[in-house]
């Protein structure tokens, strides 16, 4: 089973001292939560991979995207998290229960984000204040009826001599996640690629910059996107002068 490992990071605070991060690593399974309208609850497991006690807080947000693709998160009570705060001894694990409270449409997918944060502690160290600060990570939660499907359409326009801007719109009623892009010419030769994409929620249009190693000739081309389920979709595009 896949899991996310949240590693520690160091940050420099706006003080005269750089305060080192002491956060312990943790993991969560699964990395994405899928529920159907028939599911009343589902479990997520958080594991403390470190050697020190860890306290985590989980919050549930409704997840939308603005017209430009920027995430819009709002705290919600559609799903009950139990327990919302967990204290994990070193090398231990805790099961969190997500119980659905909201009714579900027969056609539209509901999208959420469960954000987990480590609750930091201030610890004395040689007379200086040593602050424990941990990053949060976000776990997508999808409640998907059988009839909910994405419908993706992508276009492309030249943005520079060696670059195009791909615009992808999801006209469906479930999320689409693009893993990568590949641009090929009419003969099938690779012109450019991009190894990252992102989520596109229903009714949202997002843009992605794709840069080649050389100037792109004008003419017919094909833009192929690979999705998180392994499938591919190809779109005929024209690179203008």
Q: What is the pLDDT of residue 217?
A: 95
Looking at the predicted structure, is the pLDDT value of residue 171 above 60? yes
Q: What percent of the chain shows pLDDT beyond 90?
A: 75
Looking at the predicted structure, is the pLDDT value of residue 7 above 60? no
- Which of 13-17, 50-54, 118-122, 233-237 has maximum average pLDDT? 233-237
Q: What is the pLDDT of residue 62?
A: 98
Arithmetic mean of pLDDT, 214-224: 97
Q: Could you give the C-alpha distances from 213 to 161, 195, 210, in angstroms and in order?
A: 10, 14, 10
Among 68-77, 94-103, 128-137, name the one with the lowest average pLDDT: 128-137
- What are the structural domains of the chain? 4-143 (2.60.40.10), 152-239 (2.60.40.10)
Q: What is the pLDDT of residue 19?
A: 32
Per residue in 187-208, pLDDT (tens digit) is: 999 999 999 889 999 999 999 9
Q: What is the pLDDT of residue 94?
A: 96
Q: What is the pLDDT of residue 68?
A: 80
67 pLDDT band, cuts 50/70/90, is confident
Q: What is the pLDDT of residue 189?
A: 97
Per residue in 21-58, pLDDT (tens digit) is: 334 488 899 999 999 999 999 999 999 999 989 899 99
* The CA-based dihedral angle spanning residues 74, 78, 82, 85, taken in that order and rounded to the nearest 10 degrees: 10
The 10 Å Cβ neighbour count of residue 215 is 9
Looking at the predicted structure, is the pLDDT value of residue 6 above 80? no
Write down the pTM of the prediction: 0.84
Q: Could you give the C-alpha distances from 1 to 27, 68, 147, 176, in angstroms and in order?
A: 12, 33, 27, 22
Residues 6 or more apart in contact with residue 58 via CB below 8 angstroms: 81, 84, 85, 86, 96, 114, 115, 116
Q: What is the pLDDT of residue 130?
A: 54
Looking at the predicted structure, is the pLDDT value of residue 77 above 90? yes
Looking at the predicted structure, is the pLDDT value of residue 155 above 50? yes
Mean pLDDT of the chain: 87
4 pLDDT band, cuts 50/70/90, is very low
CA atoms of 179 and 166, how far apart (whole Å): 14
119 pLDDT band, cuts 50/70/90, is confident
Looking at the predicted structure, is the pLDDT value of residue 92 above 70? yes
């Amino acid at each position: 089973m896949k899991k996310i490992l949240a590693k520690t990071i160091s940050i420099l605070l706006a003080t005269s001292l750089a305060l080192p991060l002491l956060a312990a690593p943790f993991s969560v399974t699964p990395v994405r939560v899928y529920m159907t309208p028939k599911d009343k609850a589902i479990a997520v497991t958080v594991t403390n991979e470190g050697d020190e006690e860890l306290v985590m807080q989980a919050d549930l947000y409704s997840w939308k995207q603005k017209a430009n693709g920027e995430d819009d998160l709002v705290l919600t009570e559609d799903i009950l998290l139990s327990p919302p705060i967990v204290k994990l001894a070193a090398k231990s694990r805790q099961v969190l229960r997500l119980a659905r409270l909201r009714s579900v449409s027969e056609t539209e997918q509901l999208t959420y984000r469960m954000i987990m944060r480590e609750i930091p502690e201030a610890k004395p160290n040689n007379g200086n204040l040593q602050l424990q600060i941990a990053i949060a990570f976000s776990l997508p939660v999808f409640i998907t009826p059988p009839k909910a499907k994405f419908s993706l359409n992508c276009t492309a326009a030249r943005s520079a001599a060696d670059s195009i801007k791909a615009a992808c719109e999801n006209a469906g009623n479930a999320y689409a996640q693009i893993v990568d892009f590949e641009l090929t010419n009419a003969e099938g030769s690779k012109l450019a690629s991009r190894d990252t994409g992102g989520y596109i929620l229903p009714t949202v249009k997002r843009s992605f910059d794709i840069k080649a190693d050389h100037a792109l000739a004008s003419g017919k081309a094909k833009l192929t996107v690979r999705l998180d389920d392994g499938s591919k979709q190809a779109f005929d595009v024209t690179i203008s002068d």
